[in-house]
Amino acid sequence: MKNFDYHNPTRLVFGKDTIKDIGKFVSEYGDKKVLLLYGKGSIFKNGVYDEVVQSLDKYGIDYVEMSGVQPNPVLSKVRETVDFMKKENVDAIVAVGGGSVLDTSKIAAASFYYDGDPWDFYEKKVFPEKALPIYGVLTISATGSEMNSGGVITNEEEKKKWGWGSKYTYPRLSIVDPSIQKTLPVNQTVNGAVDTLTHVFEEYFDGTKDTLMADEFAEGIIRTTMETVKVLIKDPNDYEARANLAWAATLALNGLNGLGRRGDWASHGIEHSISAYYDIAHAEGLAMVMPAWMKFVYKEDVDKFARFGEKIFGITGEDKEEVALKAIEAYKSFLKEIGAPVALSERNIGEDKIDVMAKNALLRGPLGGLKKLEEEDVYKILMLAR
Amino acid sequence: MKNFDYHNPTRLVFGKDTIKDIGKFVSEYGDKKVLLLYGKGSIFKNGVYDEVVQSLDKYGIDYVEMSGVQPNPVLSKVRETVDFMKKENVDAIVAVGGGSVLDTSKIAAASFYYDGDPWDFYEKKVFPEKALPIYGVLTISATGSEMNSGGVITNEEEKKKWGWGSKYTYPRLSIVDPSIQKTLPVNQTVNGAVDTLTHVFEEYFDGTKDTLMADEFAEGIIRTTMETVKVLIKDPNDYEARANLAWAATLALNGLNGLGRRGDWASHGIEHSISAYYDIAHAEGLAMVMPAWMKFVYKEDVDKFARFGEKIFGITGEDKEEVALKAIEAYKSFLKEIGAPVALSERNIGEDKIDVMAKNALLRGPLGGLKKLEEEDVYKILMLAR
C-alpha cells in the first residue's frame, strides 16, 4: 500500500427530488449570476431543464445559457463557453448533464481567470491559481466527474483527447438524482456501467501489493455495478438499482478507489486515441480495449487476475493462470451479455488507422502502471481488440 | 436506499514518514501559533512528540502545550483546555493522539468562540457558527475521529457520556502514519479493531433496504478489519496489515459507510452508559454489548443477519434464522479469539447498576434505528451481556 494525500471538497447531494434545490444551494453560497451549461437537449425531454430554471428563478439567481456540449466534448466549445462567460461575467457555472458537460465546466471554470487559450492548461504550459465555482446536476452516472476535479477534452484540430484537472476544479456541490435516469436509452445506461467498471479496473489492476482494503472496496463497486446494470436492462424504472449504480459510479472515480495505489490508466489512454479518430462513445471504446489490455498484461500479475476471477465471478482452481484467463473471458462475456461492443469491428473500425492511433496514444509518453506500454505494445493491444 | 447530503472537507495525509510534515502543513494554511494537545505521554515513548515539535520548530510555528487528555475524555479537561486556549489566543489546535484527543479538540475548537460552558453544545442549548482549525496526528486507528466532525465527551458530574459534532469541527487536515502504531500494546490494537467493526455494524444493521453498494462497502471494511487484526496480534510490526487496518478504521467512520442509510447506534448509546459508570475502554464495552444487541434484535431483519453470516463467515443454509444465529455466534467467537471481552463479568461489572445504566442510556430518548429501544429493552440487552 502506497502513501496518499486525499482531499475531496465536493459536497454531494444524492437522491430523489433533489434537483429542485439547486437554486437554494447556489443562493446559500452567495452566487448571483450563473452560466447554465448543458448539452444537446435531453434535459428538455426529461424535465431537468425546467426543474433547474424554476429553482434558479425561485431563489432569484440570474442565469445565461450555453448549450450544445457534445459527447466527447471538444476544445472549440470550451473556447466559445469561456468567451461567453467572460463577456457575461458570471459568478459560477451550473453544469447540467453527464461527464461531457461536467468536464467542459472544469476547464472553463479555470480558463475564466486566464487570458490565454484553455488548451494551455492541458499542455501544462500554465497552472491555475483559482477557478469559478461549479455546481453539478448529473443526468447520467458514468464518469464520476460530479465528484472529482478532472475533465477530458478533445482538441479536434490536433487530434488530442486528453485529461486534465486541478485542486480548484472539484465541483463545489453536485446533485445526483438517480430517478431522472430512468428515461435514458438502455445503451447509455450500459455505457455508464462500463465506464464505471473500467475506472475501477484502472486502479485495481495496477500491480501495487498489499492493498486489501482497496481491493475489497473495488470489488464491492464491481459487483454492485454488474448486478444493477443487469436489473436496469430489464427494468429501467427500478429506482433502487439506479440509485445503487449511481452511487457505485461516483465512488468509482471520486478518488477513493485509487488511494494507496499508483494506478494504471493505459486503457483510457488507448481509448482516447480511438475516439479522437472515430465517433464512438468513450465507454464503447473502453469495452473494446479493456479485455484486450487484460490479455496483453495479465502475466504481470497473475495473482490479481486470479483474485478477480474468484471474487467477481466465483471462478476457483489450483492453476492461477487458468483462473486468470477464465476471468478475462468471463468479463468479456459479461460485456456481450449487457450489449457492449467487445471488438473494434463492431463499430466498423478497421486496421487502417491502428498504427496512427498507437502513435497518438503515446503523445504524452509511455502508458500504464502495471506494465509500461510503448507504441508497439499499444499496436498489439489494438490488434487484439479487432 | 435513502437520500443523503455528504460533505467531508478533511484532507487526509496517509502513510509512512508523514508526521514530519505537520509543521509544513500548518504553515501552508497560515496558522502561526497552535495548541499542541495530547494525552498521557505515550507520544513521548514512540517518538511522535519529538517529530511533531521538531517539525513545528522547523517551520517557525509557535506552540503551547496541554497534556493529560484521558481515554473516555472528560468535560473538566475540555474546560481547562478552552480556558488555556483563550488565554494563549492560539490560531489552531494540533491534536496528537487517538480518539480521545481528537474528540476533545473538536468541542474545544468550537468553544473557543463561545463565552459559556462547552457542555451547552452537547445539551443543544447553543450551536456553533465557527470553530478553530484542527490538525490531527493520529496515534491509534479506531474512532475515525481523524476524518469526521464528531466527538464523545463524558460529563463526569452528571454521568453523561454523549456525542456531538458540527460541520465546523471536521479536522482541516489529519495525518495517519500507520507505522507508529507498531508500538501499541496488543489490547489497544484489538480495541481499535472492535471499535471499527462496531461503527460499521451500527450502520449496516439499521434495517434500510436496497443498500447493495453500501453493504458491499461495509462488508469490505469488516473483512479487512478481521483479517488484519489477526495478523497484527501475531506480528505487530507488519506494516501492510497496519496500513490496511488504519485505512479501514478511517473509512468506517468518515461518513461514507452511513450514506443512504438511517443508522442504528443503539449499541454505542448503551456502551456510553456503561463507561459513564465503569472505567473500561469504550471498545471493551462495545465488544460486550454488540453481540447481546444482535441477539435481542436480529428478528427485525433476519435476511440481513443471514447475509452477514454468508458474506463475512461463509455460513450458508436454507434456514435464514439459523444462519443469522450462527453468524452472531461466529462474531462472538471472533471477539474471543482476538481477546476482546464478551461479557460484563469479564471486567467485574455485576448486575447492581444495570437498572441505573439502562435509565442513563435513555436520557436523550429512545435508542436505535433497526428497533427502537426503551429502557426495559436496554435492561434486557445488558442482562444478556452479563
- CA-wise closest residue to A228 among A252, A205, A247: A247
Between CA A374 and CA A381, with CA A375 as vertex, the angle to 5 degrees is 95
C-beta pairs of B26-30 under 8 Å, 24+ apart in sequence: B26/B56, B26/B59, B26/B61, B26/B92, B26/B94, B26/B135, B27/B59, B27/B60, B27/B61, B29/B92, B29/B133, B29/B172, B29/B173
- DSSP at B267: H
Give yes or no for residue A230 having a pLDDT over 90: yes
Q: What is the tally of helices (H) and strands (E) in chain B?
A: 15, 9
User: Integer distance in angstroms from the first to the last C-alpha of chain B?
Assistant: 36
Which residues partner with A150 through β-bridges? A165
Average pLDDT over residues B305-318: 98
pLDDT at A41: 87
- What cell numbers appear for B369 in the block? 434505528
**Residue recorded with cell 479469539:** B337
B170: left (phi over 0), alpha (psi -120 to 50) or beta: beta
A291-306: pLDDT as tens digits = 999 999 999 999 999 9
How far is Cα A242 from Cα A176, in angstroms, rounded to an integer?
Answer: 11
CA distances from A372 to A201, A211, A286, A368 (A): 16, 21, 18, 5
Contact A219 B216 (CB under 8 A): yes
How far is Cα B34 from Cα B91, in angstroms, rounded to an integer?
Answer: 6
pLDDT-derived band at B334 (thresholds 50, 70, 90) equals very high
Tell me the residue type at A223.
Answer: R
Query: B244 contacts in A (CB within 8 Å)?
Result: 1, 210-213
B80-104: pLDDT as tens digits = 999 999 999 999 999 999 999 999 9
pLDDT at A216: 98
Residue A288, SS3?
Answer: helix
- DSSP at B2: -
pLDDT at B219: 98
How far is Cα B20 from Cα A248, in angstroms, rounded to an integer?
Answer: 36
- DSSP at B74: B
Work out the angle between the directed axes of helices B302-313 and B320-337 (0-180°, nearest 10): 50
Average pLDDT over residues B204-227: 98
How far is Cα B73 from Cα B120, in angstroms, rounded to an integer?
Answer: 17
Q: How far is A370 from chain B (nearest CA, A)?
A: 20
B16: nearest CA partner in chain A:
A3
How many CB atoms within 10 Å of residue B54? 14
A4: nearest CA partner in chain B:
B14
The helix (H) or strand (E) run that includes residue A136 is strand A134-138
Interface test with A, best of B1, B211, B222 (most A CBs within 10 A): B1
How far is Cα A295 from Cα A288, in angstroms, rounded to an integer?
Answer: 12
- What cell numbers appear for A174 in the block? 453536485
Tell me the residue type at B317.
Answer: G
pLDDT-derived band at B304 (thresholds 50, 70, 90) equals very high
CA quadruple A370, A376, A382, A385: dihedral positive or negative?
A: negative
Tell me the residue type at A203.
Answer: E
Average pLDDT over residues A189-208: 98
B265-276: pLDDT as tens digits = 999 999 999 999
pLDDT-derived band at A80 (thresholds 50, 70, 90) equals very high
Strands A62-66 and B33-37 turn out to be: unpaired
Average pLDDT over residues A353-380: 97
B184-384 folds as Dehydroquinate synthase-like, alpha domain (1.20.1090)
How far is Cα B111 from Cα B131, in angstroms, rounded to an integer?
Answer: 7
How far is Cα B237 from Cα B99, in angstroms, rounded to an integer?
Answer: 22
- CA-wise closest residue to B2 among A280, A182, A104, A15: A15
C-beta pairs of A57-63 under 8 Å, 24+ apart in sequence: A57/A23, A58/A23, A59/A23, A59/A24, A59/A26, A59/A27, A60/A23, A60/A27, A61/A23, A61/A26, A61/A27, A61/A31, A61/A32, A61/A33, A61/A34, A62/A32, A62/A33, A62/A34, A63/A33, A63/A34, A63/A35, A63/A36, A63/A94
Tell me the residue type at A249.
Answer: A
Q: How many CA atoms lie within 13 A of A345 on its CB side?
A: 4
**Residue recorded with cell 483563550:** B86
Give yes or no for residue B231 having a pLDDT over 90: yes
B11-179 folds as Rossmann fold (3.40.50)
Contact yes or no for B15/A261 (Cβ under 8 A): no
Q: How far is B223 from chain A (nearest CA, A)?
A: 8
Instruction: Provide the chain B residues 257-296 that lie in CB contact (below 8 A) with chain A.
Output: 259-260
Contact A259 B8 (CB under 8 A): no
A114-143: pLDDT as tens digits = 999 999 999 999 999 999 999 999 999 999
How far is it between the farthest Cα atoms of chain A?
A: 66
How far is Cα A130 from Cα A199, in angstroms, rounded to an integer?
Answer: 27
Length reported for chain A: 386
Contact A7 B6 (CB under 8 A): no
Tell me the residue type at B166.
Answer: S
Contact yes or no for B145/B99 (Cβ under 8 A): yes
Is this prediction's ipTM beyond 0.85?
yes
How far is Cα B337 from Cα B37, in angstroms, rounded to an integer?
Answer: 35
CA quadruple B163, B6, B37, B229: dihedral positive or negative?
A: positive
CA distances from A123 to A161, A223, A356, A364 (A): 12, 37, 21, 9
Contacts of A239 (CB under 8 A, 6+ apart): A16, A178, A179, A182
B208: nearest CA partner in chain A:
A240
Is residue B252 within 8 angstroms of chain A, CB to CB?
no
How far is Cα B319 from Cα A151, in angstroms, rounded to an integer?
Answer: 50
Average pLDDT over residues B343-358: 97
B115-140: pLDDT as tens digits = 999 999 999 999 999 999 999 999 99
Q: Environment class of residue A380 by beta-carbon count within 10 Å: exposed (0-12), middle (13-18) or buried (19+)?
A: middle
Contact yes or no for A105/A66 (Cβ under 8 A): no
Give yes or no for residue B41 having a pLDDT over 90: no
Tell me the residue type at A2.
Answer: K
Contact B217 A212 (CB under 8 A): no
Residue limits of CATH 3.40.50.1970 in chain A: 11-179
Interface test with B, best of A2, A5, A28 (most B CBs within 10 A): A5
Give yes or no for residue B39 having a pLDDT over 90: yes
Give yes or no for residue A73 having a pLDDT over 90: yes
pLDDT-derived band at B351 (thresholds 50, 70, 90) equals very high
CA distances from A369 to A205, A270, A381 (A): 9, 14, 16
Residue limits of CATH 1.20.1090.10 in chain B: 184-384
pTM across the whole model? 0.98
Q: How far is B227 from chain A (nearest CA, A)?
A: 9
Average pLDDT, rounded, for chain A: 97
pLDDT at A233: 98
Contact B3 A15 (CB under 8 A): yes
Contact A260 B247 (CB under 8 A): yes
**Residue recorded with cell 429512545:** B366
Contact yes or no for A138/A175 (Cβ under 8 A): yes
Contact B7 A3 (CB under 8 A): no
Tell me the residue type at B146.
Answer: E
Strands A11-14 and B4-6 turn out to be: antiparallel
Is residue B227 within 8 angstroms of chain A, CB to CB?
yes
The beta-strand segments (E) located in chain B are 4-6, 11-14, 33-37, 62-66, 92-97, 134-138, 150-155, 160-165, 173-176
Is residue B7 within 8 angstroms of chain A, CB to CB?
yes
Query: B6 contacts in A (CB within 8 Å)?
Result: 11-12, 14
- DSSP at B220: H
Contacts of B237 (CB under 8 A, 6+ apart): B182
- What cell numbers appear for B90 in the block? 492560539
For chain A, what percent of residues have pLDDT higher than 90?
99
CA distances from A111 to A132, A144, A172, A187, A272 (A): 9, 22, 17, 33, 23
Average pLDDT, rounded, for chain B: 97
Q: What is the DSSP string of B232-248?
A: HHH-TT-HHHHHHHHHH
Strands A62-66 and B92-97 turn out to be: unpaired
How far is Cα B189 from Cα B234, in angstroms, rounded to an integer?
Answer: 12
